[in-house]
Every structure is written in C-alpha cells, then in structure tokens.
Amino acid sequence: MSAPQKGRFITLEGGEGAGKSTQLRRLAETLAKTLAARGIDVLTTREPGGSQGAEEIRALLVSGDTGRWGPVTEALLHSAARRDHLERTVWPALEAGRWVVCDRFFDSTMAYQGYGLGLGRERIAALQALALDGFRPDLTLILDIDVQTGLRRAVARAGGEAGGEDRYERMDVGFHERLRHGFLDIAEREPERCAVIDADADADHVQARVWNAVASRLGLALESAS
C-alpha cells in the first residue's frame, strides 16, 4: 500500500515529560469540533503501537531493563511496528479522508536511536526510507522542555499512568540531553514541516501554542479553538 493524500497527518514529538499525551488529546478534541462542519473525522493513534502487531512490538520496547536491546535492534523493531501501523491504521484512515493525530512517529526513532543511542542519522534514514515509502507528516509539533524539568514531570506522573512503560525514562541524563538536541536539530533541518512548541508552561498555555501552530500552518480559523 502506498501513502494516500486525502487526509492530513499531524504528529506530536518530544522528550519524556513534555506533555504530548495531554496535548494530543486536547488538539484532537479541538480539531474534531473545527472539522465537524466539513464532515471530517479525526483519529488519534500512537507509536510504537496503533495496530495490533505494532502494539505487540511496543510491549517489547517500552518496558524491561534499559539495556534490553541494542540500538540497531531497537531501531529495527520500531521500524517494523511503524510499517504495520501505517499499512493497517494510518494510510487507510487518510485514504478515507480522516485527519490523523499521532503521538510520536519517525522523528522519535531518529532522535531516540539516531541521536540518543548514537546510531547516527544515515542508518536511521535508511531504515525510514524502507518503512515509509517517502511518506511524511503534513505537520510535526515538537514539544520542547528542559531535560530536568521533563524528567521530574515524568517521575511525578509515574504511579499508574505509565503502567510500567518507563524504560526510556530510566535511561541516563546524557541520553535525554542528546535526545533533546536531536529533536531540535530535526526541526532546524526541516522548518517547513516542524514547529517547535515551548512546553515549559501549564497545559492551557501549551495548548494555545499548539493550536496557533496548527491553525497557521494548516489554514484553520483561529477562533475555532474557543
């Protein structure tokens, strides 16, 4: 199956504790209200995951010991999950004209395995080329936050919500610093696709920044966020 063009695909990226899940839910709700008059449905999904096979792979990646997998193995697992997610969830939804909002996508593999674990851009890009067939998001929102602040938030929320999916959070601070640099470097390389959102504020302020970026980049009325 090749990538369709009918719907829109928005991804949210960022390091641990940046608030992606909260902002994805709020953005999806606002988009649903905004697009309802056009008869357009909004689908939310996530990576790794978003399809049955990809969710099974997710369980292997986000729990267990921090050294459970080598960097190459991790990147291969993420890419396999992504391809299944695209074929079974994302592309059919876009073909049907739906807007899809995804919690993480290929930039996370580039940032986490390419920068954080040191595989480098070239090897990750080669995997992406195979898994994506040239497909890219219409807009990527990168929620940026100081590493220490993000990790404190992640620890504070860990008591039930994460469900043990904290393998990456438990990696060392150096990894998380490289991760943040990776996301910012990705945004600098692709400013036409990426918008960096300052996530060091309360959820309402971050929500407003997210909506302003989406509305201006994708031509939606700003007043629709009210």
Is the N-terminal amide bond of 48 cis, ω within 30° of 0? yes
Compute the CA torsion angle 109, 110, 114, 120 (nearest 10 deg): 140
> Do the Cβ atoms of 112 and 118 come closer than 8 Å?
no
Is 160 known as a binding-site position?
no
Q: Which residues contact 205 (CB under 8 A, 6 or more apart)?
A: none
Is 116 known as a binding-site position?
no
Is 16 known as a binding-site position?
yes
Tokens of 135: 């497909």
Q: Which of 189, 151, 118, 192 is nearest to 19 (CA)?
A: 151
- Distance separating alpha carbons of residues 100 and 218, to the nearest angstrom: 13
Is 21 known as a binding-site position?
yes
Is 33 known as a binding-site position?
no
Q: Identify the bridge partners of residue 102 per DSSP, sorted by sequence position.
A: 11, 45
Residue list for the binding site for ATP: 14-21
Residue list for the binding site: 14-21
